[in-house]
Amino acid sequence: MEYVGTIKAASLLEICQQRVRQLLAEGRIEGAFKQGRFWRIPLYNDMPRIIPGTRGPKGTWRKRPQRVATYIHVNSKLLQKNTNKEHPEAVITIHRGSRTIRCHEAEILGSCKVMYSPDKAKGCGARVWVEVEPDIRIIARMFAA
């Protein structure tokens, strides 16, 4: 059985590390145990298993690993509008499954490829984009206002 720490578990579940630590403190991550100062979290089908809570809304963490590729493109219309703005809007768009994130900077922590399709645009209208595998981590950053 493969074990991970809190940082990797947070990345897999797409929640913050603090929330993972809360779930661990509540005993809601199945099979997790503390070894010295560090948590060891088992993976079942490449994901930590969360025990549902008894109160509040259902959790928003991912139940299974993502299988669709992520793609990143630049919104050219916003880019044109930003030419003389003091506080430019975010023009980089990250599409990860059904989630869309807009940012000023995107750091890709792994391999990727740049795609160009003059005949067949993406749903958002992009003809040039960066395609990233689902398991590659992307860090999105915004400029300070």
Q: What per-residue confidence (pLDDT) applies to 3? A: 95
Q: What per-residue confidence (pLDDT) applies to 6? A: 94
Q: What per-residue confidence (pLDDT) applies to 38? A: 93
The one-letter amino acid code at 113 reads K
Is there a contact between 129 and 119 (Cβ–Cβ < 8 Å)? no
Q: What per-residue confidence (pLDDT) applies to 145? A: 54
Q: What per-residue confidence (pLDDT) applies to 4? A: 94
Predicted model pTM: 0.54
Q: What per-residue confidence (pLDDT) applies to 65? A: 67
Is there a contact between 133 and 110 (Cβ–Cβ < 8 Å)? yes
Q: Which regions of the chain are under pLDDT 50? A: none
DSSP SS3 for 35:
strand
Q: What per-residue confidence (pLDDT) applies to 121? A: 83
Strands 38-42 and 3-4: antiparallel
CA 19 to chain centre: 15
Nearest CA among 8, 5, 72 for reference residue 33: 5
Starting from the edge strand earliest in sequence, which strands make up the sheet with 112-116, in order?
A: 99-103, 92-96, 70-74, 128-132, 112-116
